[in-house]
Structure 1
Amino acid sequence: MAEVEMSMHTANSDQLVIDIERRLTEQENSYVGYPQYSIYRIPSHIRKNNEYYYEPRMVSIGPYHRNKEHLRAMEEHKLRYLGKLRNQKDRILHNLIKEIRDAEADIRACYCESVSLEEGDQFIEMMLLDSCFVIKLFFNEPDAACDAGWALPLIISDLLMLENQIPFFVLTKIYNIYTFGCVDPPSDGHDNNRPSFLTLATNILHETCKTNVERAKVPEAGVMIKHLLHLFYLLFVPAPEYALTPRQINVKIKGKKSRTNCLPLLQKPNLREFPGSSKFSEKNESPRVIKSAIELKEYGVILKKKENFASFLDISFEGGILEVPRITIEGCSRSRLLNLIAFEQCSGGADVDPIKKPLSSYAVFMACLMNMSQDVIVLEKAGILDNNLANSEEGAKFFHQVRECAHIDFDNHYLKQVFVEVIDYCEAFWPKHRAKLRHDYFSSPWTIVSLMVAMLVLIMAIFHTIGFILSTYFKEH
């Protein structure tokens, strides 16, 4: 009996080994030809507090939110867009399906979760409809569902959500077949009348998302764009200037006013290059927080809107003056920042390193400054913040919501030196005692009145004492 049970146990183990080996082989084969994931799911602990900003409201693109009830209405418009495209080109439908079918394995490998749709026609149809919808939308084809004043901004916002993406190479293939009649058109075919899809998408994102960049700069040809959100990230946070330290960049742009919203990302700062940061550099510590705007004022720090800057992330501190470029916060800003930071957090390797997650670092910095509604008012008065939300309380919540998903390496982020210098300044003798004096005696009108009364009583007592001494002296003489 024991021998029979052992034989059954061995057979079951062998079958389990076979099953696991098969699954591993299938997984390895499915990822051949594409290096890594590029379209991610938001982790549940991040999603639970901000689900509204991570899930599309008008249109589903890709498999993650497909067939959700509130998004089904747009499926009819996708089919209508595909019909328009088919009617404009002979046999284009056959060519499009063939290209997507040939690339199916590479497309699936872009998603970090197994695509729920079975291999074959359902998946191919979804990719075809979604990619044609995006392309026809970018061509500004008239459509009642998208031309409504509220509809287009919501659709563009949906297209810039991390979970609502399809691979950029799919969009490029479909666009090239539709525009040039082939997948790989010659480079001289991209003229002013027929731009490449990269150029078209760059201009659309620049115009509709109001990045404040004077002229949209198309990413270099060698850059591999993963999806539309990745392209927006590259436009919002362009390539760094590795050779320059933070102060060298400030010197470089001094006297040259810039309206660009593009970030020259900074190399890891060398503490020895910055005098006045001895406390943290000697302790080899990395600060995790700085004081809020209203607290910094108590320490004598001057909060100033930066005029000459390379980007809205170009923050500097010198001589007790904290300079921060002006930023506008509004409803649509929150969703875009959350999804950009989510992409920054999920991406690894060449996407973010050695960029050091600059948006995440910026979110942590601004969340420190804007701890409560009074801080928002201080920053507005300084010209640093333009708060278009309902009130100052909502403004204070803005970056705290964004900061929840912004995890950074405090030993190596582009604002580390600013944190160090601000804290060292506040720990110096005079700023520390100045802050204590203001907090204890000048924090409210009543404490000021009490101090003035006490000083008046003291002065009167001194004069009374002096008068008594003088009168006594004259009597004796």
Structure 2
Amino acid sequence: MLQRVPQHLYQRITFEERGMEHSTSEITPTNDQLSLHSQTEKDEIDEGRKADHQDQNVVISINQRYDEIFKDLDNNTCIKSAIIFKVNVGLRKSNENAYTPMLISIGPYHKKNSQLDSMKKYKLLYLRRYLQRKNGLNVESCISELEKIKNIALKCYNDDLDTDIVKEFSEMLLLDGCFVVEFIREDYEKVEKEDDIIKLKWMKNQVSRDILLLENQFPFFVLLILYYMSPRPNEENFLYMVRYTLLDTFPKVKFIPKSEIQVITEPFDHLLDVVHMFCRPSGKKVEQNMNASTQNQCCKISFCGNSLQLSKEIRPHLRFWQCYHIPTTRELFDAGVSFLKIGFVEENDEDKTSLFDITFEKGLMKIPCFAIEDTMETFLRNMIAFEQHTSKELYPYFSNYAHLMTQLIGSHRDVNFLRQNKIILKDIGDDKQVANIFKKLSDGVDVAIEKFYYIEECSKLTQHCEKPWNQMKASLRHNYFQSPWAGASTVAAITLLVLTVIQTVLAFTGYVNK
């Protein structure tokens, strides 16, 4: 192995060689000096060899360490199989409380939150009721069954869990899973009984809120195992029970008939996934919008009064820009757009209007009315978080809805306008608070143009606002025909003006004839 010669030794050797060459006795070293120089040179070469050997060992050590890390990554199958996530910082920063349980923890992510320990006694009460449903059912037999699927359930969580949690994971599956199953069973019956474990309405609402948080999810296949281990005679389908237990607490969703629910066979990740399946638009234009989003029908843009034909490469970018820059509600109203509420808060299931059924046609925008309640923001945010984190092929209706409403509600004036039109029925605070909720609802949310449900509405709105005639008509209507009295006064003034002109023309004509 070649060693580097230190620079000062190289200079000294060169200097000595030159001295010997010219036979200069003045610089010829003595024997003692030569011996000293030789020993110094040898020591420094040995030190260089030792340093190089240490560097080589360091490189080998780092390589070995990273080889072990890469090996652990290959063995960590939860990277690919994870279905339950912690909410990313981009979504969490606008309202962290919306993703945090306030009453009960389900699963491992918030298990060590001491503020939620008070619900453990309710978990035990539900567990006891669960075990009483079937003879021979006990804690040991249940945990024995859950041990068989423990490793599969562990891989559902996208996080390194503490050793203590992993050690007690099967017990946690039993305790938390039985709570969810029995809570849904109890609440589905709707009629208060003497043996109801949770009797207070606010507690039931709070539990419903917490078990639909993304970080509080539970593998759905575990819930099904526990459900079928304790069957009740003539009991309803579990999905049907989930539909009536959870969705009545939250905003308007599409009703799915019982006959359709009973034939559903698709696998679900967790309860949030199940609820997302129920929360669909009415279905009249789902396929139309999915097809239209790939056809790029909007191909013209007005620029300085000229209509420009765009190439196929530019059209998708234009549609993307239109989706992100539609006017606010007040601006649309000033441009001649009328607003109409559809649906009612209390409807029978067959006629229920979906929250997503927002349409625009011929200057009229129809928006389903909704109530701003304490749980609405949390519900919407966690549905959005699920859409943003999951790798499943699903349509991001909630992300699309949040983006559209963020565009429509730019300030408290827009909230006030929507309330006057009975679209927002009540609120949890003043107009500014409601406006802030919607302005931040889509923070950190990615909206893909190929899956934007409202792409046609946004394109039509933009084209409507670009036409000067629509703005002129709107200005005329708002300024002179805002009320019946204003309209009557305007008509009277125009009539008077016309009569005055006619009288002037007739008088002038008579004077000329004379």
Does 1:155 pair with 2:207? Answer: yes
The alpha carbon displacement at 1:274 in A equals: 7.3
Pairwise CA distance, 1:416: 1.4
Structure of larger gyration radius: 2
Counterpart of 1:322 (choices 365, 371, 375) is 365
Alignment CA distance shift 1:418-1:90 (3 Å): same
Deviations 1:111-135 (A, max 9, x none): 1221224475322222221111112
Shift of 1:91: 4.9
In structure 1, C-alpha distance between the alignment counterparts of 2:385 and 2:262, rounded to whole Å: 21
Q: For the Cα contact (< 8 Å) 1:277–1:421, is it kept in 2?
A: no
Cα separation, partners in 2 of 1:375 and 1:243, compared to 1, 3 Å: closer
The answer to whether structure 1 residue 99 and structure 2 residue 142 are counterparts is no
Moved more, 105-114 or 386-395: 386-395
Give, in whole Å, the separation in 1 of the partners of 2:476 and 2:333: 13
Instruction: Name which of structure 1's ranges 270-279 and 357-366 shifts more when overlaid on structure 2.
Output: 270-279
Is the Cα–Cα contact under 8 Å of residues 31 and 109 in structure 1 kept in the other structure?
yes
Q: 1:250: which partner in 2? A: none
Residue in 2 that maps onto 1:262: none
Tell me, yes or no, if the aligned pair for 1:46 and 1:405 is still in contact at 8 Å: yes
Secondary structure at the counterpart of residue 265 of structure 2: coil
Equivalent residue for 1:394, pick from 418, 422, 433: 433
Judge conservation of contact 1:304–1:322 (CA < 8 Å) in 2: yes
Contact 1:110/1:167, CA 8 A, preserved across alignment: yes
| Residue 68 (structure 1) shift | 1.1
Which letter does structure 1 place at the counterpart of 2:277? Answer: L
SS state at 1:5 partner: helix
| More off after superposition, 418-427 vs 314-323 | 314-323
Q: Percent identity?
A: 24
Q: After superposing the two structures, state which structure 1 stretch, 299-308 or 145-154, moved more.
A: 299-308
After TM superposition, list the pairs within 5 Å mapping 1:122-161 onto structure 2: 122-140=168-186, 146-161=198-213
What amino acid maps onto 1:194 in structure 2?
E
Residue of structure 2 equivalent to 1:258: none
Segments of structure 2 that go 5 or more residues without pairing to the other structure are 1-46, 188-193, 344-350
Contact 1:276 1:421 in 2 (8 A): no
What is aligned with 1:333?
Answer: 376
Superposed, 1:351-370 pairs within 5 Å as: 352=394, 355=395, 357-370=396-409
Paired position in structure 1 for 2:95 = 50
Equivalent residue number for residue 41 of structure 2: none
| Cα drift, residue 390 of structure 1 | 2.9
Q: Secondary structure at the match of 1:324?
A: strand
Match of 2:229, SS?
helix
The structure 1 residue matched to 2:446, chosen from 402, 407, 431, is 407
Deviations 1:222-277 (A, max 9, x none): 3111111111111113797898425xxxxxxxxxxxxxxxxxxx444366667998
In the alignment, what sits opposite 1:3? 49
Secondary structure class of the residue paired with 1:430? helix
- SS of equivalent residue, structure 1 residue 269: helix
What is the TM-score of this pair, normalised by structure 2? Answer: 0.71
Structure-2 separation of matches of 1:39 and 1:240:
28
**Letter in structure 2 aligned against 1:304:** L
Match of 1:381 in 2: 420
How many pairs does the alignment contain?
430
Seen in structure 2, the aligned counterparts of structure 1 residues 144 and 387 have a Cα distance that, compared at 3 Å, is: same
CA separation of 1:243/1:200 partners in 2, compared to 1, >3 Å: closer, same or farther?
closer
Secondary structure of residue in 1 paired with 2:186: coil
Q: CA, structure 1 residues 426+363, in 2 after alignment: closer, same or farther (shift >3 Å)? A: same
Residue 303 of structure 1 is matched in structure 2 by: 339
* In structure 1, distance between residues paired with 2:428 and 2:411: 14
Shift of residue 37 of structure 1? 1.9
Q: For the structure 1 residues 199 and 429, does the alpha-carbon distance in structure 2 shift closer, same or farther, using more than 3 Å as the test?
A: closer
Aligned positions of 1:36-435 closer than 5 A: 36-88=81-133, 89-118=135-164, 120-140=166-186, 146-179=198-231, 193-209=234-250, 211=252, 213=255, 215=257, 217-218=260-261, 221-237=264-280, 244-246=287-289, 266-269=290-293, 282=310, 284=315, 285-286=318-319, 287=322, 288-306=324-342, 311-350=354-393, 352=394, 355=395, 357-410=396-449, 412-434=451-473
The whole-number CA distance in structure 1 between the counterparts of 2:285 and 2:252 is 23
In structure 2, the CA distance between the partners of 1:120 and 1:404, relative to structure 1 (3 Å rule), is closer
Instruction: Tell me, in whole angstroms, the C-alpha distance in 2 between the residues paired with 1:366 and 1:156.
Output: 25
The one-letter code sitting in structure 2 at the alignment partner of 1:202 is R
Change (3 A) 1:309 1:20: same
Find the counterpart in structure 1 of residue 19 from structure 2.
none
Structure 1, residues 322-346: CA drift from partner, whole Å, max 9, x if none?
2223233222111101110111111
Unpaired runs of 5+ residues, structure 1, are 180-190, 247-265
